[in-house]
Amino acid sequence: MAKKTTRSSASPREPEGPAPTPAEVAALAVCARHGNKPDELLEILHDLQHQLGYIPEAALPVIARALNLSRAEVYGVVTFYHDFKRHPIGRHLVKICRAEACQAMGTDQLCRHAERSLKTKMGGTSPDGSVTIEQVFCLGNCALSPAVLVGEKLYGRVDPQRFDEIIADLDKVAAE
Amino acid sequence: MTTVFVPRDAAALSVGADEVAAAIAKEAKKRNKDVRIVRNGSRGMLYLEPLVEVETERGRVAYGPVATKDVPGLFEAGFLDGKPHSLGHGLTEEIPYFKNQERLTFARCGITDPLSIEDYIKHGGFEGLRNALAMKPIDIVTEVTTSGLRGRGGAGFPTGIKWKTVHDLPAGEKYVACNADEGDSGTFADRMLMEGDPYCLIEGMTIAAIAGGARTGYIYVRSEYPHSVNTLREAIDIARRENWLGENIQGSGYSFDLFVRRGAGAYICGEETSMLESLEGKRGLVRYKPPIPAIEGLFGKPTIINNVMSFAAVPIILAKGGEFYRDYGIGRSRGTLAFQLAGNIKRGGLVEKAFGVTTRELIEVWGGGTRSGRPVRAVQVGGPLGAYLPPWKFDVPMDYEEFAKIDAMVGHGGLVVFDDTVDMAKQARFAMEFCAIESCGKCTPCRIGSTRGVEVIDRIIADVDREKNLEVLEDLCVTMTDGSLCAMGGLTPMPVLSALRGFPEDFHKPAPNKFLADAAE
């Protein structure tokens, strides 16, 4: 178990080692912002992913030391939750609801349309690297199904045509 | 000056509420009209979103669903004076969908500015907490017990008993935790309340903290609800500033502070012990019970865990008394439930009614049938672990015990409607697939059983050794029901078996004789 350091004296690596990478620096800063509290691990991972787009492998030992956890514990959490990405994804993350209420309104066709038009499978990224599509189970918009979440923006009653409009607008919205 | 209300609820935003609000502001400026736009919560008539309301002398007048292109026409027609328009519905409070509800928990939702404490107090907010602050903690517990309130998250455990367990334990570090991991498809009541009346949840949790002797509380919100997270965080900051949270609340001597924690896309974290693990920053693995969380909960300390809807029912119980709340409902299901009409439904939305209303009333009277216009074939009640009801079961009253009798559950009150194009074998397969994806993996019946379940149903659909495989499926369902650690694996057989029994023709079996089935009910 790597429970060597205490919370207050956490440091990314031994002083004589090579200079820390940007990911390591970022991870350390996020942990510090959360008081290096192990119960805030999920919030830490959310914040780090928000900053870097994913959770780089190099960040895991840094977080483990800062929170006085084992690397296995941090790895276990990162891999348990669907939200956390271990590799870079597209510029936009588009989550399409595949749960029952959306099934009743044709989300299966919508998913197939999305896969065809973005030339990737669910969970994959379009060849131009702009969009990652992902299935999700319920966005809480079940009276206005099918629902799609892009970043933090929710869309309701999304048919294939509206989906294409949303995708076409992505970079425009991001630029605003 | 005219006040115009445009909801800020995520569902309203999902169909363009922000754009409509901007268009109204722009058009008003162009026409030199003095308009104040209030971003309220949703009234729950989601089929009318974005629902724009205008304050007039007669009351608030509703227009919806409004698109940005309708805005100039609305001004032209004189909507600022509440004049008729093709999108007009008259007074909001007189719309039958709204008028015929029994709004206790959602009394304020959609009426107030969700973040205005002034609005909240003006509409009866903090009356319950004010009463609670003057009561002995045990009397608060008694009031909640009297109300007959049962856990609204789905399990229906009496809230008063849970609170009494925590109350009776010796003083020390105790917690209040709110389960806002509303992962069930077809449910959005928690989200609507968190975004439309967040102080109601804060008030309910504060009352629970006083009753149980806790000083710290957590709200575990799923990451799929970014709007709820933001609204709650803002509301908590404001409540702290106004001394409705924090040290020595309103000079009462009680202290309570509240924090929002985000989930990370794991359905299982809606299970209470898995949620506790997640709140502690760990993998959301289900815990063995006992010990129950009321005795050893968050960080091993006594914890009151309730769903958003349970906590949100508490303020009115303390404001008007447990007996007032108990007078609603039937049998052992007391009070009201926020039913959520979802899926293929013409008028989807939230309907708060006393227990006793039937599925048929909800989907026909309120819902108006399917959105596709085709006949209703099945309704899944109570989330992805709830049963699929065929139409001849639509007249059973919504009541925890009555639903248990027909091998179904009321759950969180979500109704997902399917028309006659649904393939029930596919739905049964999905229930198993969902369990395989979302199982925490701790117990074998759930982890392995769900994967085997998908395979067996695939064979049945492909008509390979059908009779044999149907037997295997039934057997597997028994193992999962009896052998799983929590409700995830334990209840997955419910949608599967209900689909198999209610819609055998989709599994290559003869259709049931409806007359015989009716007689048997």
Q: How far apart are CA B256 and CA B206, in angstroms?
A: 7
Preceding peptide of B50 cis, ω within 30° = yes
Which 293-312 residues of chain B touch chain A by CB within 8 A? Answer: 299
Q: How far apart are CA B225 and CA B229, in angstroms?
A: 6
**A45 interface with B at CB cutoff 8 Å:** yes
Contact A81, A121 (CB under 8 A): no
| Two tokens, residue B88 | 């007009």
What is the second-level CATH architecture of the domain A92-175?
3-Layer(aba) Sandwich (3.40)
> In chain A, whose CA is at the least distance from the CA of B10?
A154
- Of B11, B342, B434, nearest to A101 by CB-CB distance is B342
- Of A73, A82, A141, nearest to B10 by CB-CB distance is A141
- Of A45, A102, A140, nearest to B224 by CB-CB distance is A140
| Two tokens, residue A124 | 């994959």
**A139 interface with B at CB cutoff 8 Å:** yes
**pLDDT, position B516:** 54
Higher pLDDT, A18 or B95: B95
State the angle between helix axes of B159-168 and B198-212 in degrees (0 to 180), rounded to the nearest 10.
Answer: 40
Q: What is the mean pLDDT of residues B322-349?
A: 98
Interface-testing mutation among B49, B282, B303, with chain A (most A C-beta atoms within 10 A): B282
Contacts by residues B35-39 (CB-CB < 8 Å, ≥ 24 positions apart): B35/B1, B35/B2, B35/B3, B35/B4, B35/B80, B36/B1, B36/B2, B36/B3, B36/B4, B37/B3, B37/B4, B37/B5, B37/B6, B38/B3, B38/B4, B38/B5, B38/B6, B38/B113, B39/B5, B39/B6, B39/B7, B39/B8, B39/B113, B39/B114
**B492 interface with A at CB cutoff 8 Å:** no
Interface-testing mutation among A45, A69, A142, with chain B (most B C-beta atoms within 10 A): A142
- Residue A174: which pLDDT band, with cuts at 50, 70 and 90? low
Contact state of A143 with B263 under an 8 Å Cβ cutoff: no
Interface-testing mutation among B416, B427, B492, with chain A (most A C-beta atoms within 10 A): B416
Check pLDDT > 70 for residue B515. Answer: no
Q: What is the mean pLDDT of residues B12-24?
A: 98
Of chain A, the percentage scoring pLDDT greater than 90 comes to: 84
Check pLDDT > 90 for residue B194. Answer: yes
**Structure confidence by residue, pLDDT tens digits, B65-102:** 999 999 999 999 999 999 999 999 999 999 999 999 99
**Structure confidence by residue, pLDDT tens digits, B405-457:** 999 999 999 999 999 999 999 999 999 999 999 999 999 999 999 999 999 99
Contact B27, B20 (CB under 8 A): no
CATH code reported for the domain at A1-88: 1.10.10.1590
Q: What is the pTM of this model?
A: 0.94
Q: Please count the helices (runs of H) and the strands (runs of E) in chain A.
A: 7, 4
Interface-testing mutation among A80, A96, A102, A153, with chain B (most B C-beta atoms within 10 A): A80
**B355 interface with A at CB cutoff 8 Å:** no
Domains, chain B, in order of start with CATH, read: 2-99 (3.40.30.10), 117-326 (3.40.50.11540), 329-419 (3.10.20.600), 424-520 (1.20.1440.230)
Contact state of A140 with B349 under an 8 Å Cβ cutoff: no
**pLDDT, position A5:** 45
Q: What is the mean pLDDT of residues B283-298?
A: 97
**pLDDT, position A14:** 53
- Of B186, B264, B437, nearest to A100 by CB-CB distance is B186
Of chain B, the percentage scoring pLDDT greater than 90 comes to: 97
- Of A42, A67, A143, nearest to B349 by CB-CB distance is A143
Which 199-258 residues of chain B touch chain A by CB within 8 A? Answer: 223-227
- Residue A172: which pLDDT band, with cuts at 50, 70 and 90? confident
Q: How far apart are CA B151 and CA B213, in angstroms?
A: 20
Check pLDDT > 60 for residue A13. Answer: no
Cα R_g (chain B), whole angstroms: 24
Average model confidence (pLDDT) across chain B: 96
Which 174-203 residues of chain B touch chain A by CB within 8 A? Answer: 182-188, 190-191
> In chain A, whose CA is at the least distance from the CA of B435?
A137
Average model confidence (pLDDT) across chain A: 91
Contact state of A142 with B348 under an 8 Å Cβ cutoff: yes
- Residue numbers in A near B369 (CB within 8 A): none
> In chain B, whose CA is at the least distance from the CA of A146?
B343
**Structure confidence by residue, pLDDT tens digits, B26-44:** 999 999 999 999 999 999 9
Q: What is the DSSP letter of B194?
A: H
**Structure confidence by residue, pLDDT tens digits, B199-209:** 999 999 999 99
Contact state of A81 with B417 under an 8 Å Cβ cutoff: no
- Residue A20: which pLDDT band, with cuts at 50, 70 and 90? confident
> In chain B, whose CA is at the least distance from the CA of A96?
B224
Check pLDDT > 80 for residue B174. Answer: yes
Contact state of B224 with A103 under an 8 Å Cβ cutoff: no
**pLDDT, position A4:** 45
- Residue B64: which pLDDT band, with cuts at 50, 70 and 90? very high
What residue segments make up the domains of chain A, in order of their start? 1-88, 92-175
- Residue B228: which pLDDT band, with cuts at 50, 70 and 90? very high
Of chain B, the percentage scoring pLDDT greater than 70 comes to: 98
- Residue A171: which pLDDT band, with cuts at 50, 70 and 90? confident
Q: Which residues contact B350 (CB under 8 A, 6 or more apart)?
A: A143, B42, B44, B46, B106, B188, B189, B192, B338, B339, B340, B341
Higher pLDDT, B512 or B63: B63
**B331 interface with A at CB cutoff 8 Å:** no
Tokens 């079940």 appear where? A142
**Structure confidence by residue, pLDDT tens digits, B299-325:** 999 999 999 999 999 999 999 999 999
Least Cα separation, residue A96 to chain B (angstroms): 11
Q: What is the mean pLDDT of residues B145-151?
A: 98
Check pLDDT > 70 for residue A126. Answer: yes
Which 68-127 residues of chain A touch chain B by CB within 8 A? Answer: 73, 76-77, 80-84, 95, 97, 99-105
- Residue B513: which pLDDT band, with cuts at 50, 70 and 90? low
**Structure confidence by residue, pLDDT tens digits, B489-498:** 999 999 999 9
Which 57-96 residues of chain B touch chain A by CB within 8 A? Answer: none
